[in-house]
Amino acid sequence: APANSGEEEERVIIPIVLKADTQGTLDALVYETDKAIQKIEETHGERAGVRIIHKGVGALSESDVKLVSGRERAIIAGFNVPVDTTVKDVAERAGVSIGVFSIIYELMEWLAKEIEKKRPRIRVEEITGTAKILRTFSRTKNKQVVGGKVLEGKMVKGGNARILRRDFRIGEGEVIELQQQKTKVAEVAEGAEFGALVESRHEIAPGDVIEEFIIKEQ
């Protein structure tokens, strides 16, 4: 299973300001926004909360921006309301997303995308393959030619790699090049033997294990 890299953020609140041209459309906007909030919190509620901190009828003003100024995850959404360039500039300088639409589904699509962009993420490590080193060849500075066999998953050219010796990590590196039967390849499947050029500050020895991994954000 993927291992958490330990960079998980604390639960954060994404503040939203809603403005509309009439009370009726504001009520509809609040209803639709609440549905969007529920959806994001069902999936990411342990890390992110979304709150409507202000709602009102009328033009978007600097006071609306000041409500969320300094909160980089803040969003201001307006439906069919005027907003002048000064207000937009103030919002931009404050790091606040601001969007005004005259079609409600377009506004909701934009709002959902902004919430998704601003929610916190955790970095998760995924192991893509492990290989045992069977033999070693030339070494020049930090680059070393090795031969090995894929034990699980696959070896991928350009992958980040950990070097393990008797289950202890001795260093990290990168698989610069892969070959099978003297032909350069992009990846090598489980069970197959290969040659590889590995860049690492640590010298690799027969019996070592190379563990390739990628970092994903979720």
Q: What is the mean pLDDT of the chain?
A: 87
* Nearest C-alpha neighbor of 131 from the set 110, 103, 102, 153: 153
Minimum mean pLDDT among 69-78, 148-157, 186-195, 201-210: which range? 69-78
Tokens of residue 78, six digits: 């307006």
pLDDT band at 75 (very low <50, low <70, confident <90, very high): very high
Question: Is the per-residue pLDDT at 131 higher than 70?
Answer: yes
Degrees to nearest 5, angle at CA 188 with 138 and 166 = 60
DSSP one-letter code for 7: -
Please, are residues 104 and 28 in contact by the beta-carbon 8 Å criterion?
yes
User: What is the reported pLDDT for 90?
Assistant: 87
For the ranges 54-68, 108-122, 136-150, which has the lowest average pLDDT? 108-122
Higher-pLDDT residue of 149, 35: 149
Q: What are phi and psi of 113, to 5 degrees?
A: -65, -40
Q: Which residue has the higher pLDDT, 123 or 178?
A: 178
**Smallest Cα–Cα separation from 141: which of 199, 64, 186?**
199
Q: CA 44, CA 8: separation in Å to the nearest integer?
A: 12
Whether 146 has a pLDDT exceeding 50, the answer reads yes
